[in-house]
Chains A and B, each alone.
Chain A
Amino acid sequence: MTVMNENPIAQAGFQQSADTRRSARVSAETVSTLAVAALCVVLLVGARFISPSLGSWSQVETVLVLGSFLVVLSFGQGLVILTGGLDLSLPAVATLSGILATNWVGASDPGAWCLLPVVLLACGCVGFLSAAGIVWLKVPPFIMTLAMSIIVSSLLLGYTKGTPRGAAPDAAVALMKGHLLGLPAPVLFLVGFVLLGWLFQSRSVYGRYLYAIGTNVEAARIAGAPVTAMRILPYVISALSAGFAGLMLVGYSSGATLRMGDSYLLPSIAAVVIGGSSILGGRGTFLGTVGGAILLTTLGTIISAIGLEFGLRTIIEGAIVLVALLLLREELFQKLGSLWR
C-alpha cells in the first residue's frame, strides 16, 4: 500500500484509534443563566449611580415581590413554549381568576377561601379548552389562545358590566403582604415556587416528555411518549399559573380590574426567551426564565424610579424587551460557552 501524503499526527495514533475530540465543559444553558443573573446584579448595584434610593436591600425586596407575578406567569408560558406553542391567553386568564376571586370570595367571609381552588379550576378549564382546540381541531396555538383570550375577556366584561366589584380575599392578601421570618412572604413563596418549577421542568418525567415533544413531535410519538396528554398538559398548567398570578395580583393591589393582566403578555414571552429558551421549542430551562423575569422587573423598577411619563415609560419598556430579545439569544451564549473550552 503506497501512502502518498501522510499526516504525521495521525500516523502516530494509527495503532489505537482513540477519539480525542472533546465536548465543551460549560453548556450554553448554564452560561445564559449565569449571564442573566450577573446582569441583574450589575443593574441593581449600578442603579445606585442613577438614584441613591436604588440598589438598597429594600429595592431588592421590591424587585422580587414585583417579579414574582412574572415568574409565576412565565413558568406556564415557558412550558407552552417548550412544546413549541405560545399562550396568548395568560392576561385574560389572570384577570378571570382575579375577578372571580373578588366576586365569589371577597374579604368578608373568612371561610370562603376554600372557593379559591374552584377559581383555579375554572382557569384550568380555559387552558384545557385551548389545548383541545390545538390538539384535536389542529388550530395553530397563537390563534386558539388569542381567540380564547378574547372570549374570556368578553365574558368578564359582560359579567362585571364594566366595573369589577368586591375586595381581595384574605388568603391572597396574606400571601402578598405578609411577613415570615423577617422576610416578605412573597419572596419566600418565590423561592419555593422556583424550586418546584425547576424540579418539574428539569427533573421530572413530565418535563422530559415536554422537551421531547418540543424537539420533534413525530419522533416523540414513535419513541412511545404519551404525546396527546403531554401536549394538553402545558396549556392547563399555563392557565393554572396565570390563575394563580391573578390571585397574587389581586392580593397585592387589593382589588381586580378588567385589564389587570394586560401588561404581562409580552414580558411573559420575553422572560422565557431572554432566559435562553428557543421560541421554537425543545430548549431552555426554568432557572433561565426566572433570571429573565427578574431582569425585566429590575429594568422596569429602574425606569419607573427615574420618574418618566407613563407613555414614555411604556415605550422604553417595550424597546428594552425588544433589545433584550435581540441581544440575549442562544447563539451569544453558545459563543460565550465555547470560550470556556
Chain B
Amino acid sequence: MTDAKGRPGTGERHPLSREMRAAGLSKSYGATVALEHADIALKAGEVHALLGENGAGKSTLVRIFTGAVIPDRGEMQLHGEPYAPRSILEARRREVATAFQELSLVPNLSVAQNFLLPALAGAGSPLISRRHVLARGADILARHGLGRIDPAACVGDLPLAERQRIEIARAIENAGRVLILDEPTASLAETDWLFEQIAKARARGVAILYISHRLAEVREICTSATVLRNGRSIGTVGLGSASDGDIFEMMVGHRVEHARRPARVAGAARAPRLAAEDLAGHGLRGVSLQLGEGEILGVAALEGQGQRGLFRLLAGLQTPTGGVIRVDGRAAAYRSPRAALRCGSGISYLPEERKTEGILAGLSAATNVVLPFLPRVGRAGFIGRHDEAKAAQPSADEVALNPRYLAFAIGDLSGGNQQKALMARTLATGARTLLLFDPTRGVDVGTKESIYAAIRAFAERGGSVLFYSSELPEIVQLADRCLVLYGGQVFRELEGDDIAEQKLVAAMIGHGSRAATGHVPAPAAPAHAHAAAESAR
C-alpha cells in the first residue's frame, strides 16, 4: 500500500537533511496568545523532542504543523518547499501526519474504517466494499505489529491503550515525510512497541517530532530537543550533551528541586474520617478501606481494576449496589457530589477528565474555583465584580496559580493551569476529605510540584486525601499508605518504606498472595500485566 500511494522512494532523500523548518511562528486565540515566536527544524530520519511545560505552546505548534490551526505569522518549509497547510487533509496530502494526544478516532466505526478514512472506497470506485476495507485494515494492523487487534472491532469498545496504538499506527501509516507524536505514551504502559514502530519509520527517512513529559523516555528515543517556554522557543539542544538539570532550567527558567516525602507516622492513632465497608458495584467486588485524619492514602492499579468506580461511588456520582460508606463514623448515603460536599466534614472530588468533567470552559477561572460554594461568595444572593476572584485567591495561592489567570476564561488557560484551578476548587470547598483521581495527569513538572505541595500542606493541616495515580513515582513520593486494586478488590496494602515501585508493580499485576481473604481473580488483561512489568524495569 505504501507504494500504491506513490510515496517518493527514500533514495532521493539525504539522510539528516532538513525535512521541515518553521521560523517565527505565532498564534493567538481570541483572548490568549498561545504561541509568540517559535523556531524549529526537523531532520529526516531523526527523532526530535519538543519539550516545555503545559501552556508553553506545544499543542499549538503541533496544530499548526497539522493544518488544524493557521498561524498568524511565521513561515514553514517542508522538504525545501513552502508549507502552509490550511486543513488536516492538506497536511496529510503533504505526508505530514499526527497522532493526537486526545485521540482523533471515530469511536463508532471499526478499526479498519478508521484507518482508511476519509477515503473508504478504493481508488476510482464510488462504492465501499466491506471485505476490501477489512482486508486493508488487517494489512495495516499486521504491518505495525498490531495483528492481534480485530480490524472489524468497533473502536469505542477497545481499551484506551489499544485505541492509542491505533491512533499512532494510523499516523505512521500516513506520515511519509513528517510524523508528529503528541504524548504518545500518555495511556501506554510500555514503550517497546512504540519505539519499535518509531525506529521503523526513522529508517524510512521520516522526520519525527516527539512530545512527552517523560524525560527518561525522551532521552531513550530522541537525539535532539527544542524547548518551548511561555510561547517562545528557548533553544535546541543535543540530548547527549545536556543534563536533566539543563533541560529543566530551560523549561522552567530555574532549577527544579525534588522534594522528598518526609517520613510520616503511620496512621494508627488517627480517627477514620472516611471508611468503606465491602463496597460493591461499578467494577468493585467488595472493597473496604479506612482513611484517617491527616492521612494521604494512595491507590495504585492498572487500567480498569475498579479505581474509577471506587472514586465515583465515594464522590456520590454513582450509588453502590452493596456495602456501606461511613463519613466521620456515621453511615452515609449521599447521591450527588453536592450531597457528598455537605455530608459530615465534607468530601470533595477532583474528576478524572479535566476537559469533560472538570472545567467549565467559558467561565472565568475564579468562577470555576468558587462554583461549589457560590452562595457563600455572594451577598444576599448577588455576586459583585470582584467577589469571586477574592474568594478564589487563597486556594489559588495554595496551588501557586498566578492570580491574574483568575479573571481569564478557564478554557483559554493551559492544561496545567486548568488543573491548578480545579485543584484549588477542591481545596476551596472546605471539605476535609479530598478524592483526587489522577491529580497530575498530563501536566508539567512545575505544576506537579505545586499540586504535590498543596496536597501535603492539606494533610499537614489534618485533612484526609485519597488519591489514585497512573504514575507510580507519584504514589511513592506522596502516599503514607497505599492500596493496590486488582480485579475490583484490594489486592494488597503497603505502608511506609514498603511503598516502592517494584513492590507496587508486582501487586498491580496480581503477583504474590493476596493480603485479604478471598479468591484471587483471574488477570483481566494479560497484555497489560506484562506491559506494566516491562515498564517497571
Contact with A along B299-327 (1 / 0, CB 8 A): 00000000000000001010000000000
Where the two chains meet, the residues of B that have a C-beta atom closer than 8 Å to any C-beta of A are 28, 30-34, 36-37, 39, 41, 224, 229-238, 241-243, 246, 252-254, 315, 317, 336-338, 340-341, 349, 351, 356-363, 367-368, 371-375, 377-378, 381-384, 402, 407-408, 412, 425, 429
Cα distance, A324 to B36, chains bound together (Å)? 36
A138: chain B residues at CB < 8 Å are none
Contact B383 A204 (CB under 8 A): yes
Contact partner of A224 among B33, B372, B377, B402, CB < 8 A? B372
A262 CB-CB contact with B under 8 Å = no
Contact B230 A4 (CB under 8 A): no
B238: chain A residues at CB < 8 Å are 2, 4
Known contacts A1-B242, A219-B358; is A205 also within 8 Å of B237 by CB? no
Contact A209 B374 (CB under 8 A): yes
A6 CB-CB contact with B under 8 Å = yes
Known contacts A204-B378, A223-B337; is A215 also within 8 Å of B361 by CB? yes
Known contacts A4-B237, A18-B230, A24-B30; is A205 also within 8 Å of B357 by CB? no
The residue on A at minimum CB distance from B410 is A215
Contact B358 A14 (CB under 8 A): no
Known contacts A212-B363, A212-B371, A222-B317; is A23 also within 8 Å of B31 by CB? yes
Known contacts A16-B253, A208-B371; is A10 also within 8 Å of B232 by CB? yes
The residue on B at minimum CB distance from A211 is B363
Cα distance, A25 to B313, chains bound together (Å)? 43
Contact A226 B234 (CB under 8 A): no
The residue on B at minimum CB distance from A28 is B30
Where the two chains meet, the residues of A that have a C-beta atom closer than 8 Å to any C-beta of B are 1-7, 9-11, 13-24, 27-28, 199, 203-206, 208-209, 211-212, 215-216, 218-227, 282-283, 334, 337-338
A222: chain B residues at CB < 8 Å are 315, 317, 337, 349, 351, 357-358
Contact partner of B235 among A3, A15, A221, A337, CB < 8 A? A3
Contact B382 A5 (CB under 8 A): no
Contact A205 B378 (CB under 8 A): yes
Known contacts A14-B253, A219-B357; is A6 also within 8 Å of B235 by CB? yes
Q: 9 closest Cβ contacts across the A-B interface? A: A17-B253, A224-B372, A21-B33, A215-B360, A23-B31, A3-B235, A224-B338, A1-B242, A1-B246
Contact A226 B231 (CB under 8 A): no
Instruction: Give the interface SS of chain B, mostly helix, strand, loop or mixed.
Output: mixed
B237: chain A residues at CB < 8 Å are 1-4
The residue on A at minimum CB distance from B251 is A17
B236: chain A residues at CB < 8 Å are 3-5
Task: Name 9 interchain pairs, CB-CB below 8 A, sorted by A.
Answer: A1-B242, A19-B402, A24-B31, A212-B367, A216-B360, A216-B361, A218-B357, A220-B371, A222-B357
Cα distance, A280 to B9, chains bound together (Å)? 49
Distance in angstroms from B434 CB to nearest chain A CB is 13
Contact B383 A203 (CB under 8 A): yes
B235: chain A residues at CB < 8 Å are 3-7, 10-11
Known contacts A212-B371, A216-B356, A223-B425; is A205 also within 8 Å of B337 by CB? no
Contact A334 B30 (CB under 8 A): yes
A21: chain B residues at CB < 8 Å are 32-34, 36, 230-231
Cα distance, A215 to B378, chains bound together (Å)? 21
Contact A206 B232 (CB under 8 A): no
Contact B30 A337 (CB under 8 A): yes
Cα distance, A203 to B367, chains bound together (Å)? 12
Contact A10 B37 (CB under 8 A): yes
Contact partner of A221 among B233, B336, B384, CB < 8 A? B336
Contact A226 B408 (CB under 8 A): no
Distance in angstroms from A14 CB to nearest chain B CB is 7
The residue on A at minimum CB distance from B228 is A10
Contact A204 B382 (CB under 8 A): yes
Contact B246 A203 (CB under 8 A): no
Cα distance, A10 to B230, chains bound together (Å)? 10
A283: chain B residues at CB < 8 Å are 362
Contact partner of A219 among B229, B252, B253, B356, CB < 8 A? B356
The residue on B at minimum CB distance from A225 is B371
The residue on B at minimum CB distance from A337 is B30
Cα distance, A181 to B237, chains bound together (Å)? 76
Contact B37 A7 (CB under 8 A): yes
B362: chain A residues at CB < 8 Å are 211, 215, 282-283
Contact A224 B363 (CB under 8 A): no
Cα distance, A338 to B412, chains bound together (Å)? 15
Contact partner of B32 among A11, A23, A205, A212, CB < 8 A? A23
The residue on A at minimum CB distance from B226 is A5
B367: chain A residues at CB < 8 Å are 208, 211-212
Cα distance, A225 to B371, chains bound together (Å)? 7
A28: chain B residues at CB < 8 Å are 30
The residue on B at minimum CB distance from A3 is B235
Distance in angstroms from B449 CB to nearest chain A CB is 15
Known contacts A2-B241, A21-B32, A28-B30; is A224 also within 8 Å of B341 by CB? yes
With A216-B356, A220-B371, A222-B349 known, 20 other A-B pairs at CB within 8 A are A2-B242, A5-B39, A7-B39, A17-B229, A17-B230, A17-B253, A199-B382, A203-B384, A212-B367, A215-B361, A216-B360, A216-B361, A218-B357, A219-B356, A221-B317, A221-B336, A222-B315, A222-B351, A224-B372, A282-B360
Contact A20 B429 (CB under 8 A): no
Cα distance, A203 to B231, chains bound together (Å)? 35
> Most A CB atoms within 10 A — which of B252, B356, B362?
B362
Cα distance, A28 to B362, chains bound together (Å)? 12
A209: chain B residues at CB < 8 Å are 374
Contact B36 A20 (CB under 8 A): yes
Cα distance, A221 to B361, chains bound together (Å)? 15
Cα distance, A9 to B38, chains bound together (Å)? 11
The residue on B at minimum CB distance from A331 is B30
Cα distance, A142 to B341, chains bound together (Å)? 34
Distance in angstroms from B464 CB to nearest chain A CB is 18
The residue on A at minimum CB distance from B36 is A21
Cα distance, A13 to B230, chains bound together (Å)? 11
A220: chain B residues at CB < 8 Å are 360, 371
Known contacts A5-B235, A10-B235, A218-B357; is A223 also within 8 Å of B230 by CB? no
Contact A338 B30 (CB under 8 A): yes
The residue on B at minimum CB distance from A283 is B362
Distance in angstroms from B222 CB to nearest chain A CB is 14
Distance in angstroms from A302 CB to nearest chain B CB is 34
B384: chain A residues at CB < 8 Å are 203
Contact A224 B371 (CB under 8 A): yes
Contact A205 B383 (CB under 8 A): yes
Cα distance, A205 to B252, chains bound together (Å)? 38
B402: chain A residues at CB < 8 Å are 19
